[in-house]
Amino acid sequence: MDVATRLRNLAVSDSGFLFDPYTGSTFSANETGRAILELLKQGLDAEGVRKELAKRFEVGPSDDLDRDVREFLLLLKDQGILPKNPSE
C-alpha cells in the first residue's frame, strides 16, 4: 500500500486523536501535528511541510520548527504510517 493511501485512511479527530485502521494503533497529536498530517495528506514532502507551517504560523525558519517536523515524522515512521526508508 502506498503512503498516500495510508495517510488518507488515517482517522484524525478535531481534538488530535489519531487512529490507524491498518494496525489499530492510536496516538494523539497537537495542533502542529494535525497540521503536518494535513499537509502530508496533500502530498507535500518534509521541506514543503516546513515551509507551509512557517507561513501558517507566521514564523521564520527555525530550529524549533525543523525539530517539530522531524520529530513528528519520526513518530509516524515509528507507528508504521510512513516508511522508515524514504525509497519505500
Percent of the chain's residues with pLDDT above 90: 43
Domain 3-78 classification at class level: mainly alpha
For residue range 9-50, what is the model confidence (pLDDT) as tens digits? 999 898 989 999 988 989 899 988 999 999 999 999 999 999
Sequence ranges of the domains in the chain: 3-78
20-25 long-range Cβ contacts below 8 angstroms, 24+ apart: 20/79, 20/80, 20/81, 22/80, 23/79, 23/80, 25/79, 25/80
